[in-house]
Structure 1
Amino acid sequence: MVDFPFPTIFALLGKMRSGAGATLFMGASRLALLALFLLFQGTSFAFNDTIHANGSIKDGSFVISEGGTFALGFFSPGRSRYRYLGIWYHNKPGKAPVWVANRNNPINGTSGVLSSDGYGNLLLYSSLDQERPVWSANVSRDKFPEGPCVARLLDSGNLVLVHPTSSRTIFWQSFDHPTDTLLAGMKLGLDKETGLNRFLTSWRSPDDPGTGDFSLKVNPNGAPQLFLYRGTVPHWRSIPWAWRIYHQFFDESYVINEQEIHISFRARDPSSILFPTMDNSGTMGAAMWDEVDGRWKEFYTVTHQKCDVYGYCGAYGKCEPSNPFLSECVCLPGYEPKSRSKLLLGNAFGGCVRKRSESSSFCSPGEGFVRVENVKVPDTSAAVWVDFGMNEVNCEHECRKNCSCCAYAMTNITDKGTGCLTWHGELIDTANMPALDHAIYVRVDALELADYALQSSGFGELRLKLDVLIPSVASVWLVGILFAYLWLKRLKKWRKSKGILASYFARTANERRIRNIFHPGADGSNYFQDSLLTKEIERSEIYPELPLFNLSTIRAATNNFSPDNKLGQGGFGSVYKGQFSSGLEVAVKRSPNNSRQGLEQFKSEVFSIAKLQHRNLVKLHGCCIEEQEQMLVYEYLPYKSLDSLLFVDRSRSSFLDWGKRFNIVVGVARGILYLHQDSRCRIIHRDLKTSNVLLDAELNPKISDFGMARVLEGDQVEGKTSRIGGTYGYMSPEYAYLGRFSVKSDVFSFGVMLLEIVTGVKITGFCKEDPALNLIGYVWDLWKEERVMEVVDPSLKVSTGALRCIHIGLLCLEEDPVDRPDMQTVVVMLNSEMTPLPLPKRPAFIYGKSRVEATAAECSRNEITFSNTLGR
């Protein structure tokens, strides 16, 4: 109901006073005023379960079904601030609404109004814009021949449009437009007369009920079955309707006729409240209300195992999750693995082909059928109903007559009795299910049929055991002989070369190779010998622990540094994508040959990140230093750099909604905090920018490129250099002009990145009408004018979080390093909206005509130099 001020009315009536006949007057007056109030409030009051023609409900009001089971009203899911019209279980908290009207058109704020026009059609408006409805039942006026309709919420959870005096004819119902939940009595499937297709679609996330990636639909071809799709790709398939299974808590109802094909369900216990649903990850399940505990309990889920994934083993493969051998995938009778390498291991992953494929069809002499029991039968989309009431002998005969028929099955539980189903295409998505009494007969040639006949006899069982036992014993002996040979050969060599020295030099070979890189010689070329980096390397002894890769291995992984594998290039050299034989994908960073700058960057990067372990730092797998090559092997990150998503490919920048961008901001901040405070030594990155922030498959940020990093010892908090290196636009003023770098230098760079992420504008690519302004200056001017939200990326929805991030970014950009917060404070400010923020002072580099910014406007590039670090 809407808000109804009964207390106010009766309070006013109670204050009325009169002389004689006061009692009679008071009773009549109260009734008259109550009727008058109802008359004026008719457009906004919904009584119990009904919204009458020209009636409405506002945000904050509810319609309750007659039995009090369901409620209709406005809600905000999870942490969202948007409002949606939905239906949910009344007085049973803990579950999301079972139906949402405006799932893709949310209302901003509590201005929503659901109204019924003069004919009873439902319209959802924002009171701020009453000309354009955000949702409508979309029922035309010619659908109401008997006059205006009313909207009624039934105890089944169905919102219907019916005639006020009769509920027999339903002109519109929410059950025809489900979201992610299947309620008792709701149908999934196709109405052949109207073309209406009812199916479930997942939410985008627990905070967003918009149409998600997954949908649950009825596939009417062959024997109808339910498919879970991810986009348009099948992800899971149910058991076809011709084979029904028993559920402990609910009965399924299947209808297949000339008018419709649909499935529905009802609870076995009429007093139970339960419903199947699908979450935003595609996991389907069912929940039941427990009256004793007063909460919802999940009791049924699917799509959690590999064999539940549609077509996991490919064509003609069968998935066996309990297979004790090497693979979960085996081939159906008469077929073998498609890959020759997998054939030796009996691994059918990737699909199978006929063992003897001289002919593309069957119909060869002596062929027959092999029974495969206890299976989820293959996808019936490629199957054909032959006849109902047919026995197994006749069904086999029908399949044998057609040379394209590769299998048949008997359906023993249908509305019309037993039936015959034949397959004429690939057998896909077969799985072993011991609990099912279902079987399929696979067509095989004469040789395969004879082999299976032998296996069914006692000799066949003995042969099968010998086929497994003999190769196993032979393999054990072969491995034992090989190990004995290698051990004797190694022992002989060890004795010849006085094994102790040979063992020592073999153990220290990698150490010497690394030491040669960091200590080239005594001819004066090793100007890095006395630096803090070299001392730290010797103290940490990273060289015995750092994995070394052979050059041949790197060449094979990168296809000999093929241009097709090249990911990028810069002053540091080139980066190539590679894949080792184990399947591990890596990014190989190859420094230029005979480059002193490349050598120094290589040494700095190896030291800085070799022992660092943090989820927001790129992982170093190892290095290669062979034949004058210096290469670093990193983990491969598929989304490449944040720079490429934000600025290079603008068509993909909208993919980064505010939630993803904020997670990236927090991740980068945590990574910098680890470098400054929580790692084994304080590290100043000195080249933080969006192109040095890489993104993994889940868009987790990882800081990379430590070639310019500097290490500060003990309590040292600042260093100084006479040669400036970095990227213009990201360098702090004290570093750009005086060569002083500290943790506050990285804070300044982080502030620039923060503005870039929120605005979607690159610091070195900013251009406005006033050429004197750069991005920092433009944001600062808007901040002073209290118009800073104008600079937020147009692809983002307006968010208070974006305003707070701009505020934090300006604090990081203050000219005096003392005024900038450290990264620990920045992380706290990002994660806690309750933390008060001081007002920012005028930032550095707010005008574009300064020497540094002028250079940046002309060219954006890395200027990398190396120099000694000086302590304070």
Structure 2
Amino acid sequence: MLPVLLTLSIIYMTNSGTSASVNTITLPQLIKENETISSNNEAFKLGFFSPVNTTNRYVGIWYINQSNIIWIANREKPLQDSSGVITISHDYTNLVVLNGQKHVIWSSNVSSNLASSNSNVTAQLQNDGNLALLENTTGNIIWESGKHPSNAFIANMILSSNQKTGERVKATSWKTPSAPAIGKFSATIERFNAPEIFVWNQTKPYWRSGPWNGQDFLGLASNWLPTSANLKGFIIRREDNGSLVEITYTLPNSSFFATIVLSSEGKLVYTAWINMIQVRKRVVQQNDCDVYGICGPNGSCDLKNSPICTCLIGFKPRNVGEWNRENWTSGCVRRATLQCERGKYNGSALDGEEDGFLKLETTKPPDFVEQSYPSLDACRIECLNNCSCVAYAYDNGIRCLTWSDKLIDIVRFTGGGIDLYIRQAYSEITKHTDTDGIHTHGIHGKRNITSIIIAIVIVGVIIVATLKIQSLLVLNAGQTHQENQSASPIGDVKQVKIEDLPLFEFKIISSATNNFGSTNKIGQGGFGSVYKGELPDGLEVAVKRLSKASAQGLEEFMNEVIVISKLQHRNLVRLLGCCIEGDEKMLVYEYMPNNSLDFYLFDPVKKKVLDWKKRLTIIEGISRGLLYLHRDSRLRIIHRDLKPSNILLDGELNPKISDFGMARIFGGSENEGNTRRIVGTYGYMSPEYAMEGLFSEKSDVFSFGVLLLEIISGRKNTSFYNHEQALNLLGYAWKLWNEEEIISLIDPEICKPDYVDQILRCIHIGLVCVQEIAKERPTMATFVSMLNSEIVKLPPPSQPAFIQSKIEHREDLAQQNYDSKNSVTVTSLQGR
């Protein structure tokens, strides 16, 4: 060892090192502190870094910046100072990391007999993030980081399990967010018969994906990992007669990149970028039902229930006392003895009471599955004739699945999963009918007739609704709206040039949204539904689909085409195109991966990601978007429905104003409009609009003032009803302002000494915006100047409008009729 170190010491002392802009390391080159090598596409870098809250130095590979570490060399041996170097060993066979004393603290550990004799090696950082050690003479890869993963699983990296040798290539979590040393969680590929991904907490299963059917993991409620666009799907290979199982994935093109990171808390976090811009971040394990086997054997977990665990149909708690204390680990046992357990059984009942099956729909399949290849009917018969078979399922991709022991880790979904058929005694089957997702096997007789009648009625309703929509389109094409002409959506809809927008074929949109599947549905409004989709090029979109069963929302649909088709601003959600085929009418928007503002702002846990700097960025972004609508766009536009659910957040939590179905356009000399149709959401409407139908720029300013106070307080305007003498947020803020206790309004999550003065100034501005008299409110141009302190002295606010809960019952209606997630939605609430 001493000659090796001596040689390396001489190299280190005589070579000044290079700040490599190339993608390789060759002897005698040294990569020192603050130096990196980059992949040819410059997306990846190799160098030294320190995690958060520590000065320890590690050698790692990162994507774009050091917040996206995808691989680490010296996980267990951090450098304590900045004297380390990365180089090639003296015998040209290994990549090594040396500390300040020239000791090897990490090596690629390639055996010398793997490399050709007298062949130099080069370390190369490749365009997919893989670090490869190449023989110079042959170009062969003799070592690569992709076969030695850290906590990140990236494209072309392989996780594998070898049944014969017991060897596993797995991802392992960091010990803490500040310590990359191997933590207690690991991710592996398991179950050779029907492979699935497992996350382990040391030696205990913590989460599993369910079996892979060739396209999806059957244990996921929805496609949290895209398989048709952003990723070309996972690839699972079986080698060596099935004893070796490998899993990997590939990317559709060079502009896309994705990671699956196993966090120090055992969560799988999927992050995707397009053109180095983050477009999605999703955590797969998000609730208690994701914990492996939380309800014990023969128990089922359903978040809609309270408590979340129940015994399967035909089963009862093994330990009632524990179960009532919400300790479900002992699980459930059968209530009635199966026919096949009472004597010899060959599929025919001994006493006429034949065992059967009850169907549990949209279910995560249990663990320990056996797979075979018969048809659906043969699968059922095979299970029925096998007394040890307690359940079966059938999937077109993976075929027949059966279980022969206790049913472990069952979860009920609202969409996704499989239909699980659970073996039951005859007495249990006769107790249960088709309710709550529980069905007997097969539907016969009168049910078929009823289904036909229902289908005929539905078809008739659709035909009538279609005729109504077509007639309304004709009406809109030739008439102006009954509202004041100056406030109409440009009056004559003939001015809308649909052909100016990119047109998508229906089949493309249908494929992108999994045929408008329930798992892709992300919003609902009076117009219809909003779906998440992924176009063939990998771009994620939100698709607003006008309902064919109702004419409601048609006007808003057309209005949105008119208003937003020509708008371009970084703080407005972008309309990408539309689809109009037959009676299908859809708008295609850019997809906002981080939901809407209310998703974070009013959740006690999620709001923690919104520190004051992020909230201020959101306030500034919304104000810029409104200023553009009111003054800087070629059309003066009043939004009329500004609220947290209509503020969408991109991958970096930057705000974009959405939902222009209620917007109105003013001519050049017009400042105010009037309507007899009050639309919007109570709690955000200005008093002159809610009571008299008058709207102007100042209406949006009022709504923004309410939104601003909600952002600062972290509370809804309506959350104060039946509290503080029936004050709403505006009334509560006004009360604190007059008592000189306004600092109490600030959300504790952001109430830090360094920011208090700035936050108090924003509260002052918000109170100025919600004044009862419209002319006393600032314009958006003045608001921006106030926010930027270009106007130093702020005017004193007067009493806000609606400080008492006079319209509490109306707000209740609003909440019943409107619930927004990450979507571009329309509120359709009419006030009188």
Give the TM-score range, shorter chain: 0.3 to 0.5
Q: Which has the higher contact order (CA 8 A, sep 6+)?
A: 2
| TM-score, normalising length: structure 2 | 0.46
In terms of Rg, which structure is larger? 1
| TM-score, normalising length: structure 1 | 0.44
When you count helix as a share of all residues, which structure comes out higher? Answer: 1
